[in-house]
Structure 1
Amino acid sequence: MADRFLMIDGMSFLFRAYYASSWGGSIRQTTSGLYTNAVYGFTKMMLDYVDLVKPTHVVAAWDVASRETLLRTQWYDGYKSNRVEPPLELIPQFDLVKDVTAAFAVPNIGLPGYEGDDILGTLSTRIADAGHEVIIASGDYDSLQLVSDKVHVKILKNGGKHEHYTPENMHELRGIHPHQVVDFKALQGDASDCIPGCPGIGEKTAIKLIGEHGSLAGIYENLTALTPKMRAKLEEHREQVFISQKLATILRDVPVELNLDEARWQYDENTAIAKCEELEFGPTLIRRVG
C-alpha cells in the first residue's frame, strides 16, 4: 500500500504565519519576551494540513543559505536582489521553528546553496518514483511545475484557504500544464524573485504564446509566425528569457538524503507537549497535540 507524504514548504508557512499574526501590531511573546507568533502559526498550520491531508509521513523543506551563497545567484547576479532583511521579531524564530518540528519528529531538510523548492522537487520526485503519493503545501506557484499523477500541490491562500492542483485541473485553473510552468515564468518573469523574463510580456500574452506553440522552444522555432513587434521583443531579449527559464526551474537532483522511516508521522506526545508548553502556546493548541 502506497504511503502519503505531506511536504511542507517551511519558509512559506513561517512567513505566512508571521504576517497573518502581526498585521494588527500585536506580536505573540512568551512571558520571558521570546517572540513566538510565527512559530505558533506555523505549528497550527502544520497540524491543520495534517488533519486535512491525513499523511503517513511529514517533511519540512527549508532555505538554509543567504542570497549571496545561492546557486542561482551564481547564474544571475540580480536574482532576489530586491530582498530585504526579515523583521527583527522573526529572525530568532527561524531556528525556533525547527526545534518545534523536531519535537514532532518531523525531519527538517535543507542544503546550503539550494532553496526549499529544490528540496521539495528532489524529494517529491524521488518519493513519487518509489510509488508513493505526495502532497506539497506551499505559497509559491513555482511548485506547480512539480504536479504529476503522484504529486499534487496545495497553494496557500489567505484566510486559511488553499487551491489544490492536480494534472487534471491545472490547465483549467491556470491556463497551462505543469510542464509549461517554467516556460511561462521565463516569458513573464517574476518581480518577487527578480527574474527578468521578457519585458512587455505579461501573464495573458505568455499563456497565449505557450498555448499556441507549446513551449519556449516552440515559440522561438516559430518567430516568423508572430507579429513583428512580438518577434522583435523575443529576439532582443532571447538570452534574458533563457536565463529566466534556468532560474525558474526547480532542481530535482539535489544531493540530500531522507530516511523515510524517520519521516513517519508519529511523535512522542510528551516531547511535543513539553515544547508547546515551554513556548506558552496555550491550551487550545496543546489539546490538539495530545
Structure 2
Amino acid sequence: MQTPPPRERRLLLAVDAPSLLHRNHHARAHTDLRDRQGRPAWALHGMLRQILEAIDQFAPDALIFGLDDRSTSVREGLYPAYKAGRAVKDATLVEQLERADALLSALGFRTVTPPGLEADDVNASAATWAGENGWDCVLVTSDRDSFANISAHTKVLRVIDGGISGSPLLDPARLHRLYGVDPHQYLEFAALRGDASDNLPGVAGIGEKTAPILLREMGSMRAVWADIEHCGGENLVATLDSWCAETGARRMGAAMLKRLTAPGARERYDFNLSIMSGRTDLELGLTPDVPGSPGLLPLDPERVARVVDFLGVGATTHLAMRVLTEPAGSGRP
C-alpha cells in the first residue's frame, strides 16, 4: 500500500461491528469457515478482514467498535414494532454476534456496548468526540443513519457489495449529490421519508424527491412548523410555489401544506426524529494520550498473531500482522 501523506489531525476509525457481521454472514455463509474449535467463524472472519482493509486504506491512529446491546433496547421499549419487519436471525449469526466483543477485545481494540442502545449511537458519539478533540473521523457502517454525523471532519465509509475498496466514502458534498440535503438536514429528511428497514413509516405523501425540496427552500423543519403555527403555512406555500414557477415544476405548495397538517403528520415526524437520532454523549473510554490504551495502534504482535491465527486463515493473519503491529514511524502517518 502506498504511504498516505502526513495529516495535520489524528484519525479515529469508528466501526459499526454488527452491520459488518450481518453483511459478512450472508456473503460468506457458503464458505462454512470454522475456527480452531469448530465454531462458525465466517462472519467474524469477514468482519475482521474488512476492518484490516479499512485500516490499510486509512491508516488510523485509533479505532473504536460499537456493538448493539442484545439484551434490551430503549428504542424497542418506546416502539415495540421497531425493526419488526426484519427476518429472524440465523442461529449461527447470533452466535458470532455474541462472540464479536471477545474477539475484538482480545486483539486490543476498544469496544463499547451502550446499555439499551446500538452501534449507531457509538458512531454518533465517536464523531462528536473527534470534533471536540480536534481529530478527523471515519465511520465504517452499512447503515444510513450515520449520514447525519457527516461533517467537514467526519466521513462515512458505507460498506456495500463491493467491500471496503468498492464502498463510497461520503463527505458533505457527496451526501448532497446523493440526497439533495446537507448533513445537518439529513435527520429531518429521514424523519420525513421514514425508514422501512426499521419499520418506521414516514409522513404520508412526502418522500425522497419532495423532502429535499422542502428542506432546501425552507431551511429546516423548525422553520416549517413555525410557519404553520404562526401563519397557517402561508409563507411555506408561497415559497414552494415560487420555486415551482422558477423551475417549471407543477405547483406543490398547497399539497405539501395539506400533507404536513394532516392528522398525525407532526406526531409521526417528531417520533421518527426521536427514534432516529443517535446519542452523541456516550462515554467512549478513549484515552489516546495514554500509551497502551485499548484501540491505539500499533497492537501487540504476539497478541495479534495468537488471536487471528485462531480463525485459521493464514492470509488474514499475515495481513493483520502487517497493518496492526506496524510501529509508529514505519509508514504510518
Q: Amino acid of the residue matched to residue 33 of structure 1?
A: G
Give the 3-state SS of the residue equivalent to 1:158 in structure 2.
Answer: coil
Q: Secondary structure of the equivalent of 2:196? A: coil
Residues 31 and 42, structure 2, Cα contact 8 Å, conserved in 1:
no
Partner of 1:95: 98
Match of 2:274 among 246, 256, 279: 246
* Bigger Rg, structure 1 or 2: 2
Is contact 1:30–1:279 with CA below 8 Å preserved after alignment?
yes
Query: Cα offset for 1:96?
Result: 2.4
2:145 matches 1:142:
yes
State the TM-score, normalizing by the size of structure 1: 0.91
- Residues 176 and 28 of structure 1: CA distance in aligned 2, closer, same or farther (over 3 Å): same
* Cα distance in 2 between the residues matched to 1:100 and 1:74: 29
Percent identity (aligned): 26
Q: Structure 1: state its 5+ residue gaps.
A: none
Supply the AA of the counterpart residue of 2:215: I
Superposed, which structure 2 residues align to 1:186-265 within 5 Å? 186-220=191-225, 221=227, 223-224=233-234, 225=237, 227-236=253-262, 237-260=265-288, 261=290, 262=293, 263-265=295-297
TM-score, normalised to structure 2, is 0.80
Amino acid at match of 2:83: K
Q: What is the aligned partner in structure 2 of residue 76 from structure 1?
A: 79
Q: Alpha-carbon deviation of 1:98? A: 2.2
**Mapping for residues 26-37 of structure 1, pairs under 5 Å:** 26-30=31-35, 32-37=37-42
Listed as ranges, the gaps of 5+ residues in structure 2 are: 1-7, 238-251, 322-333
Tell me how many residue pairs correspond in the alignment: 285
Contact 2:179/2:208 (8 A) holds in 1: no
- DSSP-derived class of the 2:156 partner: strand
Report what 1:11 is aligned to.
18
Contact 1:21–1:41 under 8 Å retained in 2:
yes
- Give the aligned residue type for 2:186: V
* Distance in 1 of aligned mates of 2:124 and 2:46: 25
CA contact (8 A) 2:107 2:307 kept: no
2:242 matched to which residue of 1? none
CA distance in 2, matches of 1:257, 1:272: 22
Query: Are the counterparts in 1 of residues 28 and 42 from structure 2 also a CA contact under 8 Å?
Result: yes
Q: Distance in 2 between matches of 1:256 and 1:51?
A: 24
Residue identity in the other structure for 1:65? R
> Could you tell me how far apart the structure 1 residues matched to 2:208 and 2:215 are?
11
Q: Deviations over 1:82-137 (max 9, x none)?
A: 23431111121123222322233111111111111111111221222111111111
Cα pair 2:14 2:123 within 8 Å, conserved: yes
